[in-house]
A and B are shown apart, each in its own frame.
Chain A
């Protein structure tokens, strides 16, 4: 069975001794935490094929995304939901248009169908009336909800979330994680999720299948299982 995401022997930072190896199996939610200079912030870019590691391999759905030709690489990324650090919302678009953007550029659906899909997602993330605001006029939590809504626009089976809970309450974080999981199946969450960041709330940690911490020595320690 295809593993949604696998890192093998990736050197994350210059001082690291042991290369980084980790896989995110289907239906699993895995969090990797670490200091800002631990290199944890690079994992999302590697998974999405936005950066190439100095050594080792990264396979997303058994594919080396970074090695794909440009057009295929862009098309492949639509299979993976991505919430970049700092949310990456386009400042000149409303939150609603931010959510619609990947559908408008990445699907052949009609504008009418896209609007319908966006409305459903906005209800799911409980963005409400804030959807028509631009990011600068929305609060942090609304921006995170919009960024998550954008990440699940194509209903992907794998989500890569970079610092998704920074600046929002534990309750909102737990709610966003439930939305990200996409419901439950007999095997676990419907989606596989990789969360990276410095810290995540305890309530979110409890909902993760595994939480790892990159130590100062550069090793990976399992915090919970």
Chain B
């Protein structure tokens, strides 16, 4: 009896490790599959990737502009008022760069894409599996990771990166508007933001975009394609994919803070 909790914890850990291992195999297998694409197959993957980018990035620009604009406007408005009272408006640049560009920007962008496209990817691939399309692909000698996963993965990585650039541009512009609205000159705002922004921040943001893109691209695909044959498994797969992606994004964000 005394070993009960230990056995349970061990069981949970073993299942978790097994899932991580399966995920790693899935990812590496997909990467290897990408290397052996014939020319005509590459053209198909390219076309599907473009479709994925259109859905994940282009169609989500409005949402990202809205989220970024409102967040930045609220934060900078409050900061100008509060920090202005103690004469510390110079910290607004740090606030904009550290809080919004470096931390919240990648996080909110990734979460928005998880909610909007990660769920769609998981649902689509799960439906492909339930409808027998994945089995048919395998039966034709096509690696489903080449046709179904690879374009979604590339599309997600590129989309997260592109939307993060949009997020940062809109955030800095909305901050500019908020600062002007609250009595700060545009020149001063630009000066303190540029002073706070270092090349390291830019590279960190790029690294985060790539890492979050990988999470958003691979986890929903993995959970979507892991369903078996029942249609009732589709919503479960979508739910698991969403939760795993959100947790993955937060853990990855924490790791970036720890190592930077």
Complex Cα gap A84–B36 (Å): 26
Are A105 and B133 closer than 8 Å at their CB atoms? no
Are B40 and A50 closer than 8 Å at their CB atoms? no
* B127 CB, nearest partner CB in chain A, Å: 8
Residues of A within 8 A of B139 (CB): 48, 50, 77, 82, 84, 88
Complex Cα gap A91–B134 (Å): 12
Residues of A within 8 A of B43 (CB): 104, 111
Are A77 and B140 closer than 8 Å at their CB atoms? yes
Per-position 1/0 for A89-128, Cβ under 8 A of B: 1110000000001111111111100100000000000000
Complex Cα gap A108–B36 (Å): 11
Interface residues of B (CB under 8 A from A): 29, 36-41, 43-44, 128, 131-133, 135-143, 146-147
* B128 CB, nearest partner CB in chain A, Å: 8
Are A77 and B136 closer than 8 Å at their CB atoms? no
Are B143 and A109 closer than 8 Å at their CB atoms? no
Residues of B within 8 A of A101 (CB): 44, 137, 140, 142, 147
Partner among B44, B131, B142 whose Cβ is within 8 Å of the Cβ of A74? B142
Are A50 and B38 closer than 8 Å at their CB atoms? no
A85 CB–B CB distance under 8 Å: yes
Q: How many A residues are at the interface, by size bracket?
A: 20 to 34
Are B44 and A50 closer than 8 Å at their CB atoms? no
Known A76-B141, A88-B139, A101-B140; contact A106-B132, beta-carbon cutoff 8 A: no
Return 14 A-B CB contacts under 8 Å, by A number: A71-B36, A77-B141, A78-B140, A84-B135, A84-B139, A101-B44, A101-B142, A101-B147, A102-B141, A105-B147, A106-B141, A108-B39, A110-B39, A110-B40
Residues of B within 8 A of A48 (CB): 138-139
A201 CB–B CB distance under 8 Å: no
A150 CB–B CB distance under 8 Å: yes
Other contacts beyond A50-B139, A77-B140, A102-B140: 4, CB < 8 A: A45-B135, A88-B136, A105-B38, A111-B40
Residues of B within 8 A of A107 (CB): 38, 40
Complex Cα gap A76–B40 (Å): 19
Partner among B29, B128, B131, B140 whose Cβ is within 8 Å of the Cβ of A106? B140
Residues of A within 8 A of B128 (CB): 90
Are A74 and B40 closer than 8 Å at their CB atoms? no
Residues of B within 8 A of A74 (CB): 138, 141-143
Residues of A within 8 A of B141 (CB): 74-78, 102, 105-106
Are B132 and A108 closer than 8 Å at their CB atoms? no
Complex Cα gap A89–B135 (Å): 10
Partner among B133, B137, B138 whose Cβ is within 8 Å of the Cβ of A91? B133
Closest to A76 in B: B141
Known A82-B140, A101-B147; contact A91-B131, beta-carbon cutoff 8 A: yes
A86 CB–B CB distance under 8 Å: yes
Closest to B29 in A: A70
Complex Cα gap A74–B146 (Å): 12
Residues of A within 8 A of B133 (CB): 88-91
Residues of B within 8 A of A45 (CB): 135
Are A108 and B131 closer than 8 Å at their CB atoms? no
Q: In the complex, which of the residues B135, B140, B146 has the most CB atoms of chain A within 10 Å of its own CB atom?
A: B140
Closest 6 A/B residue pairs (Cβ): A88-B136, A82-B139, A104-B40, A78-B141, A77-B141, A102-B140
* B137 CB, nearest partner CB in chain A, Å: 8
Complex Cα gap A150–B140 (Å): 8
Partner among A50, A87, A102, A110 whose Cβ is within 8 Å of the Cβ of B142? A102
Q: In the complex, which of the residues B37, B128, B138, B143 has the most CB atoms of chain A within 10 Å of its own CB atom?
A: B138
Closest to B127 in A: A91
Residues of A within 8 A of B38 (CB): 104-108
Known A77-B141, A101-B140, A106-B141; contact A84-B40, beta-carbon cutoff 8 A: no
Residues of A within 8 A of B41 (CB): 104-105
Residues of B within 8 A of A90 (CB): 128, 133, 136-137
* A82 CB, nearest partner CB in chain B, Å: 4
Closest to A151 in B: B140
Partner among B40, B135, B140, B146 whose Cβ is within 8 Å of the Cβ of A109? B40
Q: In the complex, which of the residues B36, B43, B44, B141 has the most CB atoms of chain A within 10 Å of its own CB atom?
A: B141
Complex Cα gap A210–B137 (Å): 29
Residues of A within 8 A of B36 (CB): 71
Complex Cα gap A84–B142 (Å): 14
Q: In the complex, which of the residues B131, B135, B136 has the most CB atoms of chain A within 10 Å of its own CB atom?
A: B136
